[in-house]
Amino acid sequence: MSGHISPIREPLITGAKTYHQITEDICGPTERTPSAAWMIAFILAVTGLAVYVFCVTWTIWVGIGSWNLNRTINWGWDITNFVWWVGIGHAGTLISAILLLFRQKWRTGVNRAAEAMTIFAVICAGQFPLIHMGRLWLGFFIFPYPNTRGPLWVNFNSPLLWDVFAISTYFTVSLLFWYTGLVPDFATVRDRASGFRRKMYNFLAFGWTGSAKHWQRWESLSLILAGLATPLVLSVHTIVSFDFATSVIPGWHTTIFPPYFVAGAIFSGFAMVQTLMLITRKVLHLEDYITLEHIDSMNKVILATGNIVGVAYLTELFISWYSGYIYEQFAFYNRLMGPYFWSYIGMMACNVISPQIFWSKKMRQNITITFAMSIFINIGMWFERFVIISTTLARDYLPSSWSYYSATWVEVGLFIGTLGLFSTCFMIFTRIAPVVAIAEIKSILKNAGDQYVGMSNAKKHAHAHEPVATKDSTDTH
Amino acid sequence: MTRSPNKDVLFGLYDDDAKILSAVGQARAAHLDIYDVFSPFPVHGMEDAMGFTESRIHQAGFVYGLIGTLTAFLGMTWVFTSDWPIIFGGKPYWAVPAFIPVTFELTVLFASIGMVVTFYTICGMGPGILNPTLHDRITDDKFCLAFDVTDASDEEKAKYRAFLQASGAEEIDQKHI
């Protein structure tokens, strides 16, 4: 996958690395004993996971009556969390697939961790609709298969079933893409290991040898999987938005939802990548691989998608007024001035106003500001889903059924618990797998790193060695 | 590029991708029969240097995708027009627009799984499979050019060795795999 070589851009790998140093730097964290900081963070993450296990058990044991949902507001924190987590996952596929197709070499520094984030975020997301069913043990009803309950099939015309297909396909393809990318790097770790570790990585590396033909097929496969995942990433959140858009509830059935949801997903996903990568680069000392240029590039994406989201908010407001449809107008008036006005203000402040700071390059490259912004945006995007879901349901067509909703400790615990689940998975990942794609980083060292050789120099370099004269070479083949 | 076990392989290790690319070009120009080339990352230009034809994995992907499309669309058509015809939300039995999301997802799913399985199968890879490796540094920072010397005479081996030496190999070794 050759690409454009620019001598003007800042190098993507700094520190005058050799190929061996790259291996040392990136494989190191999987080989060393974990630091005290990692252990403390891991204990915290596992505590969160324990909260998750407890709250899930409680929900299943007691039933979803332990949540504060009522007959008016039957989607609360659960579906808010589901949409939020699915959105978080999107940046991973975007970085690995869309940026690969666009030949954006800066993706190589962050794609591995972002893809891992996708997998773990989708695992967290999938929990919520499943638990929300109430009877978890009947969850298999959502899968279409010839069954013994008479000619009973799932409803293929329902957006909720489309979700099942979209999320499970998304998870599977992301997993395949991520793992296939990991195989050569597992082989690198394998060849440095001994004893039990060698056996373990032998299993994980699938017998990778680094043969030229395998590399050719591997690159071809990666590119096509990227080509398939690109419309997939757009389709998944589009389909999630259909859950709302195909309904007849004012505030939900809007045609802007698919692109608006996709932009929002990328926005929040990139914010989460920033949160994770800023911590990871610091803890694992990867500053030479995840440089300020990477952070700057991701902040540009955040700024762009944040503005798309902002335009979508304003378009919604304008269209509700312009439609002349009183129920639609009321839904938006209610969002701005109703009982949940605080969540609307939070959403606007975090998602539309605060990212404007990234117009300044200085701010885009400021680690502290970037970290704080990434947290703001994640909070803001959670608010966005809450605004769409709960405020709309709270004030529907019938004033007699109007209601207010606030979460119980079980619902809050479930959300915090999934943060624990996510962090636990991510931290284990940083111990087992190389968090930066080693092979991909090596392949850009000379055309995007600080050892840039340029097109003409590369050719010269390639022919630097005298041709070997083999007099009777024809005899040998 | 069919590779069977029980071979004696003479190989040279290079420390730079440009060197191996140049060595492969020279070996092919000299009509030396290359067994394989190994590298820690995909060396661009190697496909041309080795004279590989384009991978046809995408053609397989198209076929798998098509199977997915047909499975989904025909499956839903059969379910809703024949096996369990029921009207949902005023939609007709054969509600083509409503079938599109599931059809799309299954197309992508079939194509992806099919291609990945094909990839591992044709590369002879899979969980727990142990393919012989020539040197541990190949997945780190060394680039390896290998010749099959199972049936080669001493004279031929010497010629390969001389070639590897002259083309810049920093380490030359022979291994039975």
Domains recognised in chain A with CATH numbers = 19-142+156-454 (1.20.1630.10)
Residue A421 in contact with residue A81, Cβ under 8 Å?
no
Structural domain range at position B94 = 57-123
Asked if B62 and B113 sit in the same domain, the reply is yes
Residues B67 and B104 in one domain: yes
Of B132, B140, B159, the CB nearest to A23: B140
pLDDT means per 10 residues, chain A with 477 residues, are 55 80 87 87 95 95 91 90 92 81 81 90 92 88 82 88 93 93 93 90 92 93 90 91 90 90 91 91 86 90 94 93 91 91 94 94 93 94 93 87 91 95 94 90 77 56 46 38
pLDDT of residue A109: 80
Residues in chain A with CB shorter than 8 Å from the CB of B50 are 212-213
Residue B156: per-residue pLDDT? 87
The total number of structural domains that make up chain B: 2
- The answer to whether residue B2 is domain-embedded is no
**Distance, in angstroms, between B8 CA and closest chain A CA?**
16
Residue ranges, chain B, pLDDT below 50:
1-3
Find the Cα–Cα–Cα–Cα dihedral A429, A430, A433, A435, rounded to 10°: 120
Do residues A239 and A163 touch, judged by C-beta distance below 8 A?
yes
Same domain, B62 and B116: yes
Residue of B125, B139, B157, B165 to mutate, interface with A, max A Cβ within 10 Å: B139
pLDDT digit string (tens) for B127-148?
988 888 888 899 988 999 999 8
Say whether both B106 and B160 belong to one domain. no
Task: Answer yes or no: is B128 within a domain.
Answer: no
Q: What is the CATH number of the domain that holds B150?
A: 3.30.70
| pLDDT at res. A54 | 96
Which of A156, A162, A176 has its CB closest to that of B116?
Answer: A176
DSSP per position, A415-466:
HHHHHHHHHHHHHHHHHHS-SS-HHHHHHHHHHHSTT---HHHHHHHHT-SP
Q: Is residue B72 part of a domain?
A: yes
CA distance B88 to chain A (A): 7
Residue B104 lies in a domain: yes
Which tokens hold the place of A26?
């990136």
- Write down the pLDDT at residue A466: 44
Task: Examine the domain organization and report whether B71 and B109 are in the same domain.
Answer: yes
CB A6 within 8 A of CB A453: no
**Quick check: A357 and A363 in contact, CB under 8 A?**
yes
Q: What 8-state DSSP symbol labels residue A407? A: -
Nearest CA to B13 out of B158, B124, B168, B148 is that of B168
- Quick check: is B1 in a domain? no
Does residue B63 share a domain with residue B13? no
CB of B117 within 8 Å of a chain A CB? The answer is no
Same domain, B113 and B69: yes
Q: How far is B172 from chain A (nearest CA, A)?
A: 16
What is the structure's pLDDT at B67? 97
pLDDT the model gives residue A470: 43
Q: Which amino acid is at A226?
A: A
Same domain, B48 and B79: no
Nearest one of A65, A67, A71, A95 to A80, comparing CA atoms: A67
Q: Tell me the pLDDT of chain B averaged across its residues.
A: 89
Residue B17 counted as domain residue = yes
SS3 assignment for A179-246 = HHHHHHHHHHHHHHCCHHHHHHHHHHCCCCCCEHHHHHHHHHHHHHHHHHHHHHHHHHHHHHHHHHHC
Same domain, B110 and B61: yes
Contact assignment for A220 to B88 by CB distance below 8 Å = no
CA atoms within 13 A on the CB side of A88: 33
Nearest CA in chain B to A224: B58
Residue B68, in any domain of the structure: yes
Query: What's the pLDDT at A469?
Result: 45
Asked if residue B50 is part of any domain, the answer here is yes
Task: Verify that B95 and B61 share a domain, yes or no.
Answer: yes
